[in-house]
Amino acid sequence: MTVLIDMDDVLVNTTEVWVQHLNALFGTSVHYEDLTSFDVSLPFRPHTREEVYATQAHAEFWRRATPMPGAVAAVEAIKKAGHRVFVVTNSQYVCLQVKMEELLFRYFPMLTWSDVILTACKQMIKGDVLIDDAPHNLAGGDYEKLLFTAPHNRAFNAASAGFTRVNTWPEALQKLRALTPNA
List of residues contacting Mg ion (CB under 5 A):
6, 8-9, 133
| Distance of closest approach, residue 133 Cβ to Mg ion, in angstroms | 4
DSSP code at position 8 = B
Closer to Mg ion by Cβ: residue 158 or 181: 158
| C-alpha span between 20 and 148 (Å, rounded) | 21
Q: Which among 132, 160, 167 is positioned nearest to 146, based on CA atoms?
A: 132
Nearer to Mg ion, 9 or 144 (CB): 9
Least distance from C-beta 6 to Mg ion, angstroms?
Answer: 4
- What is the C-alpha separation between 146 and 176, in angstroms, rounded? 9
Closest-by-Cβ residue to Mg ion is: 8
CB of 45 to Mg ion, least distance (A): 22
Nearest CB to Mg ion, comparing residues 9 and 16: 9
Query: How do beta strands 144-148 and 164-166 pair?
Result: parallel
